[in-house]
Structure 1
């Protein structure tokens, strides 16, 4: 909890470098930024925000004096895929809309309105904007996502800000990705347009349009998901190569080598070297296709968060990533066991077979995906942030060992 509060303090100094004060339960804590605002400061010079549910456990930061923006922020950022989550979102929305929330939530951020992120965004977009902020649970790639609204309540877009080396790299990567795919024509997939980029307080800032998702959208069906996977893979020309001769395998081996003497490295290197030399289709992958980054209607899928976009990756990785994150929602170990079967079934679906993925290569692709995912987690030091999938030696390496044996016996497509 102390780490969460420290993160909140540091984040406030990034977003509002003009200064401020931090209150817990009505008692003033340490100052924020270069100048501490005192209780006697002119209220017109600063604004109050509420960390929700508290400064010790912040997930969203909402304006204390703007019921509408706060309620819209709860609605926009809520993950309502369960009955409990829908009830929590409804209660919070009602509390803010009725004006009760500021009386119930006692922690406050009082921040200077001069030289603030709101001021910078209003200037960049040539319109006044108000903000609600999502920061999510502790992860290595935790960064603020800002919902931008006009004072009249119209959604302008979303902004992301890099607050450390990793998140800055990801924000810059997403900026490049949105530029690269801006002219792409995917039949059933819509992506956000890039609206603005700049540097803010030492880190990158990007603004992208808001996609038309909400109560009329839901998680994609299996068919929608696989259409998404195939169409994303075609963002660059798909090539078919033996695994041993692919640039992807060479790059993955180099990424493992860069990890140095991490104890997981020998197992990852050995798993990669033991995989059969099958012929695979290589294309693009979103890199983080989960229920939090995609929504669907009967006719279209809307996909955002493109910071992990890569090219020349085995087709099917996005389907495996989505399925893994679904399976582990009720527990990592039983979820991984389910994924070992359900992931293989996804890769054998006719849509992916038609995209060039031979059914006999499913275990090899699954093993490659796990090696890639483990390498990503280790590079990002996700284990230090406590992510529930981050302990790769606990679940990933055992699953990888089993997949390696399965790949050796089931592959029927030698290079």
Structure 2
């Protein structure tokens, strides 16, 4: 049986105190038990993430806190996405459960169930199945358009229009480029957000970048690109992303030309996200992306 996301049991409220102890007091009050939080490793941008511990020092989950307008939007978006996922019959993907979503001291607070521990390397077949299942979230549960989902992507990424031709995606039974509503993508499908479960399913965390209306394959390309960034600079990783796109997307039935177009679209979407965030972790796109796009446009 799937766990269902909980909704706040009381109206969102502001607390005048500041600091981690005030956050602990707020969570203790809304959850009805003593809560202690501690900082959790690296932050997502400048957004703090904390572990929450309950009675008998039991680990409850992760606390995400959105302070700026942009971060508050992302935290709210993730809560909304996770509630939607709780109502979808997912067979492969296991998302976190919303334990609490509220407002503290003008900040958005989201408490999520913790990821599994002790996960090793994720098998390629499981990755592919999860990517395909997430892509299918761009459709309504009974098939057809996904326009009823209240899940506009926080950054641009909608396909400009249908492209001609292309084989069917084996996992979805849909044309990877011609599906009129596009597909969904997780938006941050990287190893740090993934964990293989003992039941053969894949835990996928950090859904704040989820969006719909993109070409099929964005998550697979994002996974490849961010693994490449561990070994090389942004410009070289971007070139590798396009050069290897045919291999990366081959399991899903895309041709090499389709895959290269999708990779270019993905990289442009990622650069636009960074611009809108006001944070360019890869440096200016003129250094790592523009020369590659110029080169691709010059090809026959």
Q: Is the 8 A contact 2:131 2:220 kept in 1?
A: yes
Residue matched to 1:134? 40
Indicate yes or no: 2:229 matched with 1:328.
Answer: yes
Residue matched to 1:175? 79
- The normalised TM-score by structure 1 is 0.57
What does the per-residue CA deviation read over 1:364-409, in whole Å, with 9 as the maximum and x for residues that have no partner?
Answer: 11111111111111111113xxx2x242111122222334445xx5
Structure exhibiting the larger radius of gyration computed from Cα positions? 1
Q: Is the 8 A contact 2:61 2:113 kept in 1?
A: yes
Give matches, 1:176-325, under 5 Å.
176-211=80-115, 213-215=116-118, 217-237=119-139, 277-278=163-164, 280=177, 281=179, 282-297=182-197, 299-325=200-226
Indicate yes or no: 2:244 matched with 1:342.
Answer: yes
Q: Which structure ranks higher in relative contact order (CA pairs < 8 Å, sequence separation ≥ 6)?
A: 2
Q: Distance in 2 between matches of 1:184 and 1:398?
A: 41
Residue matched to 2:30? 124
Q: Note closer, same or farther for the CA distance 1:130–1:404 as it changes in structure 2 (3 Å cut).
A: same
2:295 corresponds, among 396, 402, 407, to 402
Q: Note closer, same or farther for the CA distance 1:126–1:296 as it changes in structure 2 (3 Å cut).
A: same
Structure 2: gaps (5+ residues): 1-14, 145-151, 166-176
Per-residue deviation at 1:255? 5.3
What does the per-residue CA deviation read over 1:313-348, in whole Å, with 9 as the maximum and x for residues that have no partner?
Answer: 111000000110000112214433333333331112
Task: Please give the secondary structure, in 2, of the residue aligned with 1:152.
Answer: helix
Q: Is the 8 A contact 1:377 1:390 kept in 2?
A: no
Q: Note closer, same or farther for the CA distance 1:360–1:334 as it changes in structure 2 (3 Å cut).
A: closer
Q: Distance in 2 between matches of 1:346 and 1:128?
A: 47
Task: Please give the secondary structure, in 2, of the residue aligned with 1:331.
Answer: coil
Q: Is the 8 A contact 1:135 1:144 kept in 2?
A: no
- The normalised TM-score by structure 2 is 0.77
Per-residue deviation at 1:358? 4.5
Per-residue deviation at 1:285? 0.5
What does the per-residue CA deviation read over 1:209-230, in whole Å, with 9 as the maximum and x for residues that have no partner?
Answer: 113x212x12423222111110
Q: Distance in 2 between matches of 1:302 and 1:255?
A: 26
Q: Is the 8 A contact 1:364 1:404 kept in 2?
A: no
Q: Is the 8 A contact 1:218 1:297 kept in 2?
A: no
